[in-house]
Every structure is written in C-alpha cells, then in structure tokens.
C-alpha cells in the first residue's frame, strides 16, 4: 500500500531551450528561469491553482498537464492519493519555445515522487526520465529539465537515452521573448518529411562542433549554431523571430530560435555580454539575461 507524506512539498523546475540551432530534437539546455510547484495530499478531491504564466487559460482539473504527470507518477509508484491540492507559480512563458510543457511534466513527476514515502527507491531518475520522455514524445527538453545543464538525448530501439555534457562557465544566455506564441504542432507542421543529404551532413558537423564549443571553445559558437534543417523552414510562422536571428548573426552573435520558437536565444560571454544585447530587444518583446542552470528539477527544503 502506498504511503504518502504529510504536509506540502515544493518543487522547482527550470525552463529549457532545445535544438540550439543544429541539434534538432537532441540538444537541450537548462536555463535559470524556474517554475515552482507545491503539492499536498489531502482527504479528497482535486484543487488546482495557477499563478503567473497560464493563469486564467490553462485547465484547473485532471487535464492540467502537471496533474496528468502526477497521476502517471503515482500510478508507477503504486497508487493514487485520496485527494490532491496543487499550486503552480509559473514563470516560464507558455508556447514560446522555452520548455513549459517539459517543466510541467518533469515538475509533476518529481513532485508526485516526493509526496510518496520512499518514492525515489521505486521511481529513480532514469525511470522518471523515461516516463517524462514518453509523455512529451521526445527527450530534448525533459532531460535538461530533470538533470540541469546541457544534455544530448535521443531514442532508439532500447528506449530513450541521455548524456550530460559540460558548459564553459563563461557562457550565458539572452532570451528575447515575443508577446505571441506559436504552438509546437504548427512549428513542426512546417518541416519537410525529407531533407537533402548535404544539409543533414552540415547539421551533423555543426552539432558536433556545438558540443565542443559549449564545453570550452566558445569562439566557435557562431559557426556551431548554424542550422540547415528547421529554422528557415519555420520562417512563415515566426518571421519577426527569424529576422532578429538574422540581424544578430550578421553582427557575429550566435543566435538561434529556441526550441519550436518563437523565442530567440543568443549565447553570450557572461552576464556583461548579455546586458550589452538588451537594447536589441524588439518593441513589445521581453528580454532576460540568464545563466545556464546546473540544477534540474529539485525538491525545496
């Protein structure tokens, strides 16, 4: 019989940026912009409260993505609680390519695990990662959301896999967030079913270079972030984002579309380098200078 802990549990989970240019569906980076979830097992019913991003628009019932993730974790842990109270304090913007759905999934799984006595003994991190990747459909965002830092992920006949890779401490990030979102489904729908062999080879080379550049050779980041497979194809859905990417790259700034967009992400030399880019933020957009988060989802004391 499942034993639940008494009292509230709080979890924090980072935003993430996937692809980073050429690493389509494989590279992911955790960012120091974090949602916070608080959950508690109660006598009966379900109460969901959302503050911040998604407030007033996301469902407050069993269809809420955090609740769905928690239910999946409780099922893997042996049983559902009699009742549940959930409060989500959201900072990660929705539908902007910053991993809000992965934050919800990973945060919900980690929160549910923490609400079960001895939960980590039954649902360890590799098992939780597999469950999160199955829920999301691809691992590139859920891996850094869970583990933090920079990860390389994929899927093969043996299931989902992920490997951590170092990030040079000089590297920081600027994100330029437009006021309107683009759904992942729309962005993926613009991609062709086949790509030229030469473009695939060029992206593979730059993905490998990007791993090395982030690890300690940041002078190669501009070349390493050049993409051939998905960004230009998505221009019709986010023309202002691609125009900003083009302008930044023309000035030597390694800029990419974050995930499925429309947020633009630039890799810079520390917070000071980020501050110098803030005046490039288009009118009506928001800009943030962020560190790479070395922590993934974690339970707060």
Domain that holds residue 223: 171-290
CATH value at residue 112: 3.30.230.10
Q: How many domains does the chain have?
A: 2
Q: Are residues 154 and 189 in the same domain?
A: no
The answer to whether 204 is a known ligand-binding residue is: no
Q: Are residues 136 and 45 in the same domain?
A: yes
Examine residue 1 and state whether it is found in any structural domain, yes or no.
no
Q: Are residues 108 and 47 in the same domain?
A: yes
Residue ranges with strand state E in 111-182: 150-156, 159-165, 171-177
| The dihedral formed by the CA atoms of 273, 274, 276 and 281, expressed in degrees to the nearest 10 | 150
Backbone angles phi, psi at 211, to 5 degrees: -60, -45
Strands 83-90 and 45-52: parallel
The answer to whether 102 is a known ligand-binding residue is: yes
Q: Are residues 61 and 101 in the same domain?
A: yes
The answer to whether 3 is a known ligand-binding residue is: no
pTM: 0.96
What is the pLDDT at residue 225? Answer: 98
125-135 tens-digit pLDDT: 999 999 999 99
The answer to whether 95 is a known ligand-binding residue is: yes
Strands 286-291 and 171-177: antiparallel
152-199 tens-digit pLDDT: 999 999 999 999 999 999 999 999 999 999 888 888 888 888 889 999
The answer to whether 97 is a known ligand-binding residue is: yes
**Residue 1: pLDDT band with limits 50, 70, 90:** confident
2-40 tens-digit pLDDT: 899 999 999 999 999 999 999 999 999 999 999 999 999
Q: Are residues 128 and 259 in the same domain?
A: no
Examine residue 4 and state whether it is found in any structural domain, yes or no.
no
Q: Are residues 56 and 176 in the same domain?
A: no
CATH value at residue 262: 3.30.70.890
55-110 tens-digit pLDDT: 999 999 999 999 999 999 999 999 999 999 999 999 999 999 999 999 999 999 99
The answer to whether 94 is a known ligand-binding residue is: yes
Examine residue 43 and state whether it is found in any structural domain, yes or no.
yes
């Amino acid at each position: 019989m499942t034993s639940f802990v008494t009292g509230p549990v709080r979890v924090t989970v980072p935003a993430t940026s996937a692809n980073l240019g050429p690493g389509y569906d494989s590279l992911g980076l955790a960012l120091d912009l974090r949602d916070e979830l608080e959950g508690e097992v109660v006598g009966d019913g379900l109460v969901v409260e959302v503050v911040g991003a998604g407030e007033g628009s996301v469902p407050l019932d069993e269809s809420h993505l955090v609740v769905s993730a928690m239910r999946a974790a409780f099922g893997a842990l042996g049983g559902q609680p009699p009742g549940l109270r959930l409060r989500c304090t959201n900072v990660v913007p929705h539908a902007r390519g910053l991993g809000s759905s992965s934050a919800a999934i990973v945060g919900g799984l980690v929160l549910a695990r923490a609400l079960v006595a001895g939960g980590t003994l039954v649902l360890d991190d590799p098992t939780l990662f597999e469950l999160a990747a199955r829920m999301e459909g691809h691992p590139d965002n859920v891996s850094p959301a869970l583990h933090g830092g920079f990860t390389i992920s994929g899927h093969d006949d043996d299931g989902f896999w992920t490997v951590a890779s170092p990030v040079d401490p000089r590297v920081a990030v600027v994100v330029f967030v437009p006021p309107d979102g683009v759904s992942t489904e729309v962005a993926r729908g613009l991609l062709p079913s086949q790509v030229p062999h030469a473009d695939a080879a060029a992206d593979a080379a730059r993905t490998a270079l990007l791993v090395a550049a982030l690890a300690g050779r940041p002078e190669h980041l501009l070349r390493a972030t050049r993409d051939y497979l998905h960004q230009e194809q998505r221009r019709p859905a986010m023309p202002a984002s691609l125009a900003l990417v083009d302008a930044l790259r023309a000035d030597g700034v390694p800029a990419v579309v974050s995930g499925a967009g429309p947020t633009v992400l630039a890799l810079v030399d520390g917070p000071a380098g980020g501050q110098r880019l803030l005046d490039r933020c288009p009118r009506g957009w928001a800009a943030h200078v962020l560190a790479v988060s070395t922590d993934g989802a974690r339970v707060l004391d």
